[in-house]
């Protein structure tokens, strides 16, 4: 197994879903998955705001990544391709400073400054 391979990561998560019978037991239901991702974002936020160790933040980010990849499995879309498609769009966007922080967005309906 190549620990840097998206395919290997996806395969591991598919095995995890199968082992725990996610598709038969509600684990692949989208509203449920979104609530789990929101919960993970809260845990990531707590790590940052409470100044927890880097390894704790890394673990919570890994939880979110696993959930995101599992959501792609559950919803049957190619997250890897979606990533590269989105990066191509982002590369064409301009950045703007907003409240002292860089932001890269489409900035629809906003005059350029």
pLDDT tens, 24-50? 999 999 999 999 999 999 999 999 999
Q: Cα separations (Å) of 93 from 87, 89, 97, 102, 110?
A: 10, 7, 13, 12, 14
Asked if residue 84 is part of any domain, the answer here is yes
CB-based contacts of 52, cutoff 8 Å, min separation 6: 46
Given a cut of 60, whether residue 113 has pLDDT beyond it is no
Confidence of residue 112 (pLDDT cuts 50, 70, 90): very low
Domain count, the chain: 2
- Say what the pLDDT of residue 107 is: 83
Asked if residue 1 is part of any domain, the answer here is no
Q: Distance between CA atoms of 5 and 11, rounded to whole angstroms?
A: 10
Q: pTM for the complete prediction?
A: 0.84
Q: Distance between CA atoms of 36 and 63, rounded to whole angstroms?
A: 10
pLDDT tens, 44-85? 999 999 999 999 999 999 999 999 999 999 999 999 999 999
According to DSSP, the residues that pair with 97 across neighbouring strands are: 102
Containing domain of residue 98, as a range? 79-113
């Amino acid at each position: 197994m190549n620990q840097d391979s998206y395919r290997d990561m996806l395969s591991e998560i598919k095995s995890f879903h199968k082992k725990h019978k996610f598709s038969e037991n509600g684990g692949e239901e989208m509203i449920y998955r979104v609530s789990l991702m929101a919960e993970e974002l809260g845990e990531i936020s707590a790590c940052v705001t409470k100044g927890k160790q880097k390894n704790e933040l890394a673990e919570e980010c890994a939880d979110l990544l696993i959930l995101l990849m599992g959501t792609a499995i559950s919803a049957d879309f190619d997250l890897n391709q979606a990533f590269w498609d989105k990066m191509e769009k982002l590369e064409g966007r301009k950045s703007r400073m907003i409240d002292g922080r860089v932001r890269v967005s489409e900035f629809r309906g906003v005059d350029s400054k």
